[in-house]
Structure 1
Amino acid sequence: MGGGQAMTPEERDLVMDLVLVPGKGRTRTLDEVLAHFGESDGGVLALRLLRDAMERRDADDVEMALIVKAAAGASGEEFLEPLIELSRADWHTRHEDVVRMLGKLRSPRAVPALREAARWVPEYLDWDENRALAVKAIWALGAITGAEAREALEGLRDDENEIIRENAVKQLARRGEL
């Protein structure tokens, strides 16, 4: 797969085989996938696939890249900027995964994007009255230390949505900042 080309259906199937199936496990190893793509490091491959998919605004390939990232356990700082950009992009449907991954990075640089994600309802999530994306963003904010994250949570404490308010209060309480 060169730059600018979508993954083939076979490559997508290969990556999908990395997904953990309850009761079955994985049907393929990360090493097999790495070998196919000519890469030795899962994080490097995930980042390459992610940047390529973002350049092409290919929602399916973003999902594939995030699967490789998760399978490789890759969580380096180099994912921060692409994930922040993806958290604000309206052309894919993996916002909950992206926000969860941003939370794991625990970077104060992610606070503005997470604050936006807590308030934004992408069109494809319009049906979700539980506001799962907002809740994940608020929990991600709760995991980030520092004044900026605290201020973001305090701002969300006054949101018109009850679920957002309740979760912001829970996170502030958990942090001992109520």
Structure 2
Amino acid sequence: MTPEEQDLVKGLVFVPGKGRRRTLDEVFAHFGESDGGALALRLLRDAMERRDADDVGMALIVKASADASGEEFLEPLIELSRADWHTRHEDVVRMLGKLRSPSTVPTLVEATRWVPEYLDWDENRALAVKAIWALGAIPGAEAREALEGFRDDENEIIRENVLKQLARRGEL
């Protein structure tokens, strides 16, 4: 994406007290697309192919702004969750959680355990917490068993969030 295209996409972000500077229709018109999901997927795959961390962020903004979801996002989001060349892991895990797909359980378990180098400072383990909450949103035994596997984790933050999710699911 050009800097101008990135600025256009950034205009979709809601800023409290100011709102949005751009509309989805403006973004769609610029990129010659009428479907937010299709545009987000195209931008995401392009950014991944080029390993462009900034453009991954832009694609995720389009995806979120268009409220795009669907099975077609599973593969690229799973791949991005493991990629060490970008810094949008928390957004990716949150989006995987919104898909509520049992096929994402192994990926979310991995995200609970993994601390990317750029997040090494984060004692609150925000990526792990987001992964745990995503697991909590997925129905079924596989997600419950994954959560149970972290019940005795050495990290108190992980244990507390697992217990909250199991309680919310009525499985404590």
Q: Pick the TM interval, shorter chain.
A: over 0.9
Q: Tell whether 2:36 aligns with 1:65.
A: no
1:42, CA displacement in angstroms?
0.9
For residues 86 and 17 of structure 2, the distance between their equivalents in structure 1, rounded to whole angstroms, comes to 29
1:16, CA displacement in angstroms?
0.6
2:115 corresponds in structure 1 to: 121
1:111 corresponds in structure 2 to: 105
Residue in structure 2 matching 1:133, options 124, 127, 136: 127
1:177, CA displacement in angstroms?
1.3
- TM-score by length of structure 1 reads 0.95
Q: Tell whether 2:165 aligns with 1:174.
A: no
SS in 2 for 1:156: coil
Give the percent of matched residue pairs that are identical in Structure 1 and Structure 2. 89
For residues 31 and 149 of structure 2, the distance between their equivalents in structure 1, rounded to whole angstroms, comes to 45
1:45, CA displacement in angstroms?
0.3
Q: Describe how 1:5-154 pairs up with structure 2 within 5 A.
A: 7-154=1-148
- Where does the alignment leave 5 or more consecutive residues of structure 1 unmatched? 1-6
Superposed CA offset, 1:41-88 (max 9, x none): 111000000011011111000000000001111011211111111111
- Where does the alignment leave 5 or more consecutive residues of structure 2 unmatched? none
1:25, CA displacement in angstroms?
0.6
- TM-score by length of structure 2 reads 0.98
Superposed CA offset, 1:118-145 (max 9, x none): 1111111111111111001000000001
For residues 113 and 106 of structure 2, the distance between their equivalents in structure 1, rounded to whole angstroms, comes to 11
1:169, CA displacement in angstroms?
1.3
For residues 109 and 138 of structure 1, the distance between their equivalents in structure 2, rounded to whole angstroms, comes to 15
Q: Which amino acid aligns with 2:151?
A: R
- Structure 1 stretches (4+) deviating beyond 4 angstroms? none
1:160, CA displacement in angstroms?
1.4
For residues 23 and 76 of structure 1, the distance between their equivalents in structure 2, rounded to whole angstroms, comes to 31
Superposed CA offset, 1:4-36 (max 9, x none): xxx111110110111111111111110001100
1:172, CA displacement in angstroms?
1.0
Q: Which amino acid aligns with 1:77?
A: E
